[in-house]
Amino acid sequence: MRRAMDFTWLAILASLAMGIGTALVFVFAVKGNYFENLEDAKYQVFWSDLEEPADEPKKEEGNGEGAGKAEHRTGERRNAH
């Protein structure tokens, strides 16, 4: 019986420690302005789609104008949001 009570108090103390730790991390995040720009996070998911993959070779046009236009269009889309 005594052993079961020890585990109960251990579980209560562990849950209190985790709750206090979570509250401290939350206060640290608020004071550190981690929640300042929440709107930007949803756009970060799509930024990798706008950039060219590094392992694919770039296609070069005969006069070289095509690559510049593609980069310019990519920059416009990135700044559009």
Do 17 and 46 have their domain in common? Answer: no
Do 43 and 76 have their domain in common? Answer: yes
Domains in the chain: how many in total? 2
The low-confidence residues of the chain, meaning pLDDT below 70, are 48-81
pLDDT at 20: 98
For 16-38, how does the pLDDT look when each residue is reduced to its tens digit (9 = 90+)? Answer: 999 999 999 999 999 998 888 88
Q: Phi first, then psi: give them for residue 41, nearest 5 degrees.
A: -65, -35
Place of tokens 């950039």: 51
**Distance between the two ends of the chain, CA-based, in angstroms?**
63
Domain boundaries, position 48 = 37-81
Do 43 and 65 have their domain in common? Answer: yes
pTM of the complete model beyond 0.75: no
Do 29 and 60 have their domain in common? Answer: no
